[in-house]
Amino acid sequence: MKRMITFGAAILAALSLNSVANAQEVTFKKGVPGVGESRSSTEETAMTNKMAITMNGQVVQKVEQKTSETKSHTVTVLARDGEKISKIKVHLKKKEAKQDVGQGPQSKKSDLVGKTFVLEQKGDDVVVTDEAGKKVDDTVAKEVKGDFAKSLGDFDNKFAEVLPDGAVKVGDTITVDKKKANKFFKDGDDKDPMQVEVFTLKLTGTKKINGVTVAVFEMHVKFSGEPNPGMKIVMDMKGTAHVSVDSSYPHLLDLKGPMTVVGKNQGMDIKGDGEMKMKFHSTYGKAGAATSKPTTGGN
């Protein structure tokens, strides 16, 4: 955060820290981590849905679905090229997907859990090796790049792309345009049938958590689309986001909301209702040093 007032005296400097923690407006800095800095993250998504399939007004089948995915990893910066990150080390702690579509729960864990990889930007290509510098096979490289290549460059600092350059006042609502919104959630994939229709951030205040000043936002995001022809899905989630004022790094996203499914298939009407949850928290620190504790949900 650009400090609103700079005081020379130590006692006034202490007062300025208090004013930041209760700021009525904030201006976000755009952080670029230095060599040796790390981010440890956990991402959790979960969906439950109950669908009824009807024909000629009669329910012919009921389906209940439950799916979830958990990812946990640490990314450490190994090299920078100017303001861009050119080399990172990643350690995958957990990657597991679960689903239950009425035939009993099933679980799939990644074979890469517990392993460490190095990704380096070389021209337009990203080279993936193990920690000893040996190239990995193409299948492993594809999975690793799919999960972590976006941390090269700007450290996947997506909030820096949607937060304004100027001051944001408490009570202000930032409305993110659809192109930036889909880049934020979908990495700009225009072919993904589920697109972001609404993305807003309302600043409710700031607070210090574990020594870090974070802006507290009320966050609203709405997805809609037709993954299958004639089958419309809407997910409308609201919740809280904590974003560092000094770097724009996310510390917490905690969202949930209703999901609806409406459509037709082979002369049958399909209608479903459920819930979608999305939670993400990160801590930051130097490699080998203690990181800040994760923030918790709520304002």
Instruction: Give the residues across from 169 on adjacent strands.
Output: 25
**Residues whose CB is less than 8 angstroms from the CB of residue 33 and which lie 6 or more positions away in sequence, other chains included:** 39, 77, 85, 155, 284
Which amino acid type is present at position 289? A
Which amino acid type is present at position 222? K
Say how far apart CA 154 and CA 161 lie, in whole Å: 10
- Which stretch, 7-16, 23-32, 102-111, 197-206, has highest mean pLDDT? 197-206
What's 292's DSSP letter? P
**Tokens found for residue 4:** 């609103």
pLDDT tier at 1 (50, 70, 90 boundaries)?
very low
**HSE toward the beta carbon, residue 34, CA cutoff 13 A:** 2
Predicted structure pTM score = 0.82
For residues 224-244, give the mean pLDDT. 93
Locus of tokens 């861009």: 84
β-strands 37-55, 194-209: how paired?
unpaired
CA–chain centroid gap for 213, Å, is 19
In this predicted structure, what is the pLDDT of residue 9?
Answer: 30
